[in-house]
Amino acid sequence: MATTTATITLTSTDLLTDSLSLSATQTLYKAGTTTGLDSIQYERLELPTGDVYDAIDATATGANKANKVYIANKSTDATYYIDVYIAALNIGRLYAGDWAFFPLEAAAATQDVALEAIGGAQVVEVALIHEGKLVAGTGV
């Protein structure tokens, strides 16, 4: 049985009046089970500026599954950012060095995850951690 664990640690000496240190760890399970997620699709790509790139095809992930998405903007230019879309809705920006980790229901074929580089071409890492096999020829 696969075991996939996600950990985040947040530390700051000046975010509040006192220092702050938070840490959380979560084992990633298949939907409705205590069986760990067992598959990952990973891609490192260079996004040209202004093009919208479908990073994750919703039809490949499967509805009612425990899909997790990781996106990292590897750019070092602070003026560059990536817009992140789900179903053509802009859910936020990842500036140089930023990353995101979120669940993806993908209940409809239109709920793709898309990325758009703003400011210049940027290197991006995209991973889909999911249950079982993806539909052939689709996905990350």
User: Which amino acid, residue 71?
Assistant: I
Range of the domain at 58: 38-130
pLDDT of 61 > 80? The answer is: no
pLDDT of 74 > 90? The answer is: yes
In a domain, 16, yes or no: no
CATH number of the domain to which 57 belongs: 2.60.120.10
In a domain, 112, yes or no: yes
Degrees, nearest 5: CA angle 130-132-136: 100
In a domain, 67, yes or no: yes
Question: What is the count of structural domains for the chain?
Answer: 1
List pLDDT tens digits, range 25-46: 988 888 888 888 888 889 999 9
Q: Contact 64/104 with Cβ under 8 angstroms?
A: no
List pLDDT tens digits, range 85-135: 998 899 999 999 999 999 988 777 778 899 999 999 999 999 998 886 654
pTM, two decimals, is: 0.84
